[in-house]
Chains A and B, each alone.
Chain A
Amino acid sequence: MEEPNDLRSAPLPPIGAADHLRGDAAWPLLIVYADFTCPRCALAHERLRAKPLRIAFRHFAIAAKHPRAVPLACAAEAAGAQGRFWEFHDALFEDPAHTDDPHLWEHAKKLGLDLERFELDRRTEEVAGLVRAQTRGGMRGGVAVTPTLVLEDGTISPGPPEPGLIEGLTK
């Protein structure tokens, strides 16, 4: 993924190969900028789960906000390299009190990941660059808080989705 070389305003990147997508392709698309250390993101995850929406997840990991933000994002990408991004994503949001490395190893083991590869992958420059690029791409597009939802029409909605928003998207 090309990394933005500045932080001036720019349109949010279109859906691309680095995006993780879940849900039927016919369902309304919702891009979710989130951070695995963020309680409001866990709430958004809970509210959006099982809804008929095609979710695209993007990292908005701010190291200055939480020291585990970037490591957790990188760990999810490493799980994704073994085809288990969403399962790892769910595990992080559903067990928010356990975010240290041993907890990540437990999640990885439960998902049947190759732990040695997981450990190598989550520390690569490529993975760090992807997380950084998604975060900075979000910043350029006006994302400033987590979670931030981006609707198909380009509307940016900061904060966990209210029921009315979800109903409007899924009706």
Chain B
Amino acid sequence: MSVIEAGSEIPDFTLQTEDGEQFGKQDLLGQTSVLVFYPFAFSPVCNDQLTLYEEVLDEFTERGATLYAISTDARWSQAAFKEKLGSTVRQLSDFEPKGAMAKSFGVLHEGGFTQRALVIVGPDGVVKWSYQAPSPGELPGPNLIFDGLDAAAA
């Protein structure tokens, strides 16, 4: 299984927001979205990843990109994780059924959690760029996302 490739239309999916609301494909249309798949709330690398992206979040916004952090953690765990980090990136839970959305995007680890991966989705719902870290322990820097946004705009 590998991450969904550029040029593919994203599949339908249903996730839960921190508030328990449903969030799906329709919510991504009309904007450029960066889907940040991360393995585990509160794990060291995920802490580093989300704080690093938070540091330059204004610049992602200036580039017209909206970030979403997605994992197979329950929404309650994600909400606590977000609060602990002081993060403002919206969290989306792929918990019920666990990993269904990650699987459809090709980023479900055989261990049942999300791979560390990035997917840029265009306003038309088509993947513009994607990246999967060689291992869940490797943190893709924000430079890769900015490169991806360039590629998406080309």
Q: Which residues of A contact B (CB under 8 A)?
A: 6-10, 62-65, 139-145, 158
Contact = CB atoms under 8 A, between A and B. Distances in A.
A9 B52 contact: no
Contacts of B51: 62, 64-65
Given A8-B150, A144-B48, A62 B143 contact: no
Contact of A142 (B45, B141, B150): B141
Nearest to A65: B51
Given A142-B141, A143-B141, A144-B141, A6 B146 contact: yes
B9 interface: no
A10 B142 CA distance: 12
Contacts of A10: 143
Interface in B87-130: 87
Interface stretch (B31-39, B53-61, B67-75): B53-61
A144 B54 contact: no
Contacts of B139: 144-145, 158
A4 B55 CA distance: 15
A144 B55 contact: no
A145 B48 contact: yes
A63 B51 CA distance: 9
B30 interface: no
A142 B144 CA distance: 8
Contacts, number: 51
B136 interface: no
Contacts of A63: 55
Given A140-B143, A142-B141, A144-B141, A7 B59 contact: yes
| List of 10 A-B pairs having minimum Cβ-Cβ separation, nearest first | A144-B141, A64-B54, A65-B51, A144-B139, A64-B55, A9-B143, A64-B51, A8-B146, A7-B146, A62-B55
Given A6-B146, A65-B55, 7 more contacts: A62-B51, A62-B55, A64-B52, A139-B141, A139-B143, A144-B49, A145-B48
B64 interface: no
Pick the most buried of B48, B54, B59: most chain A CB atoms within 10 A of its CB. B48
Contacts of B150: 8
A7 B85 CA distance: 22
A139 B45 CA distance: 16
Nearest to A63: B55
A62 B56 CA distance: 10
A33 to B, nearest CB: 11
B7 interface: no
A12 B109 CA distance: 32
Nearest to B148: A8
Nearest to A62: B55
Contacts of B141: 139, 142-144
Nearest to A67: B86
Nearest to A10: B143
B31 to A, nearest CB: 20
